Chain A
Amino acid sequence: MPNLIIDGKQVEVPAGTTIIQAADKLGIDIPRYCYHPALPVSGNCRICMVEIEKQPKLQIACYTPVADGMVVRTNSPKVLEAHKSVLEFLLVNHPVDCPVCDQAGECKLQDYYMEHGQYDSRLSDVKVRKEKKAFSIGPTVMLDQERCILCTRCVRFADTITKTSEFGVFSRGDHSQLDVYPGKQLDNSYSGNVVDICPVGALTDKDFRFKCRVWYLAQTKSVCPGCSMGCNITVEWDKSRPHQHKVARVMRLKPRHNPDVNDYWICDKGRYNYRFIDENRIHHPQLNNDLISWDQATCIMDSVIKPLYDSKRTNRIGVLASAQLTNEDIFVIRKFFKETLKGAQVDFRVPEKPGDSDGFLIKADKNPNTAGALSILQADADANQIVQKAKQGEIDVLYVFGHDLVRLFGKDVVEQIAKKVKLFVYQGSNVNDTCGYAHLNLPSSVYAEKDGTFTNGQKRVQRIWPAFLPLGESKGDWEIISLLSAKLGTPLAYQNSQEIFQDIAATLAPFSAMTYEKISDKGMILKEGIGSSK
């Protein structure tokens, strides 16, 4: 393997590695516009120039392969001058309309100007104007040709990742402009990614435009709950303007790099699937239409469940758990309903129609934690049967986690259930048609408010972190179960989700040896033998 020195630091990398990759490995930040690790190299921006000993000309770091004994400098006066001059060229015809640009604050022109530029303008001429400024090129993205630095990242993304080839660079010289091909629109399932990879404000997200300045945003690592792919994301929320919170906290979702899952990308469905976090939420526990306290809610549940528990008729309890819940939630459901209330019928596999899918990131199973639910809850009951029994009054309690039974089974069935069972509990984060029929509505928190783990379709256990506190009086799903369990006189010993996870790891072989620290932000694969207990 070639051994080289970059800025005095030695590094050994496989043959064929480029200088920029070797520098990234060392944590040396070489400026870049056109280079993107997931796209083919185009070498057109010329800002990543470095000095290589014994080579007269500067070379671009993104294209030059390393060689054994190479001595590279990324900060010599000659290199810094080259960075500055490329930046100057890129800004010659750039409108510098930062005050009205959405990219401001996360713009590489701004960043590199502060790091490598800081020169006085030498331009005395009128800038070249281009045709399209703030122009819609599809359902999700706006194009500003004047801000574009023609790095062609978006072109290469559409050519090689989605293979839809919507973009082209038209015309020549400093009149070159980025556009979609005539008659085409940027309308594919991954269109939003071009906004992420655009290093400047040329491609902006219609959904995010003018909503929030990026310096107001806090970032919390999470995992997309939209399907079983479990794409790694960052939840970006407004941290410093609490007066805005009544409107919305989450401003946007961004993909988070994980080479083993989603690389740098997420689909548009996942990207724009965040409004439910702030909208249409259940804020308070409700008995029919009356707001009640958590204490009242647990008392009501206890009054129905306690006699069944005492008389060992727990088989008259039906639970529809959900693969939308975290492993920790599901484990507590298992603890309470399958161990404390031994005999209760628990299943999570409601009859959902498979959704759309492609060969890339979009999976037909729209639940983020089916693999986790399967490995924690032994499937010894059947959701359809539970619903049928409830309909016929063969059970007394139906406890539903988040499912919209009206959509799944029809209005008539749910009406019947509400009449036949003694207690019909709906525990979920958002209002749906089933809420109107449930006797008791319990507000639970959404994934962005939870600490926990999901297990994706690859059987990869991945962490989610709470971005902010649960909205209103909502609580984590496992906390609500804990309240109920304590009321019943069988308290669970968990203070937080980490303790639950430790118990999972101690109880279930596939999770053994896993800890939150080890899972970290890249995830860990479940061990073979899914669902087997120790």
Chain B
Amino acid sequence: MPIIEEVAAISVEEAYTTLDIQIEKLAEIVQENPEDITVLLAYAELNLRRGRYLEALQAYHRIMSIKPDVIDVHVGLSRIYLRQNMITEAFNEIVKVFQLSPADIEGRIMYDRLMDIGEPSAETQDAIRDLTVTDPEFEDLKLFRHQKELERERLEGEIAQFEKIMEEHDEEPIYEYNFEMALNRKKNIDELFKYIDSLESYLAQKALEVKPDIMPPAAEEPAEQVGEAELQGEETSEESAETSVVDEAAEEAVEEVHQVDFPTREDQPVEDDSTVIFPDDAQLPVEEEQSEIIPGEQEDEAPPAASVEGGGSIAGESEMTEVVSEETPHVEDSPSAEEIAVIEEEEVIEEPPPPEPVKEGPSEERIQFYQQVKDSITTILAALIKTKGVTVVMAVAGDGYVVDSIVNEAIDYAQIGKKISSGIEVIRHWRDGEKGRSFLYWVLEFEQGLVVVRAINSEYFLVAIAKAGANFGAMRYSMDKGKETLDEILSSAPSD
């Protein structure tokens, strides 16, 4: 397929750059060629690998508005929906895949994966029942295997690079994290090969089962039918006719249309379709690519945040709403307009807590303690600031005092520490202090960036400020990792 070939060409050509650079380049090309399906498809695929699902979704829908029958679009959409745990929607996309290509291998893999996760809705089951799905050709499966072998090779290269990077950057969580993610993807690919093996066995078995029905057993053939001419490679007209019948029957058997009847799913690949996380629809664990890394075949990488505004209509939304409505959550009856009016009149907004009293700051003893532990804290902050896009990291006390910070941006961090501390005060004023209800994260997504606040303990918190496009999943991973040690260090602080 020309589109796939071109996409593959792009991937190979840019295999030595970062995935981000690839995406950026493609974004520029998309701007210049907004109707070019090849470019859009490549852009969607790379965003999908990067974990930027909304961007991928938007690109796929744009392709559908131009050309509704691109199989890869529906496979891609199915993968996005699967990651969002929208199983019915994912099934619906696979139905479309099979409608377009009854022998699609990716579709078959996705179908099996989905079946392992959950049952399709009754409506989707009906659609699946009506489907005609044929087995893939051996040749197609061979090609698919080859593509995956290339993918595995690239992943192995990536893992080797990570190992080298980790040797040079010991104890930096982001590299460790990326390394783990690469290993995870490699494991998934290995599992996929088991599936391919299983599919191959199934096809071979099926071919064997079909032959006895369509070809008369050799033992039953009258010996006289095997004449001398045949032994010499010549065909009699009768034999020729027989061969023709056999070929036709074999062809029919190969193209036998059957219900979805896939081989055993015990060897089904497991993809790291973990839950998507705010604000980037990233997953935990999510991946953040490093500039040194070959990203060519990465899957499930973490996304930078980017808004998808004006994305146009999303085909299938009505379906999603419909499916969602099948669920039965416990929701109280909605109030009438009158009730709402009464509620609005009655409800009085509680005044904000009184402004923070001007604090004199920490005691000398405490400041001395902070100085003593500064090196240990700086080490943790140094690891955190290496997370891509992060420009400021701070350990802040509940009174707003910045215990330690690394600041790569011209901002008044002391002032920010105080303001965030006031915000935390509001949060804790509301519901903190009760067991099992502790505050964990406060994330503020601005037009141009992100502020992530992570509670260290009841008295301290960790703050990271990042540029737009930073990966919350990676930030969260690093912050969670540093939190325990920071807690250990700061819990020894003398009380004022």
Tell whether A pairs with B: no
B: residues with CB less than 8 A from A are: none
Q: Which residues of A contact B (CB under 8 A)?
A: none
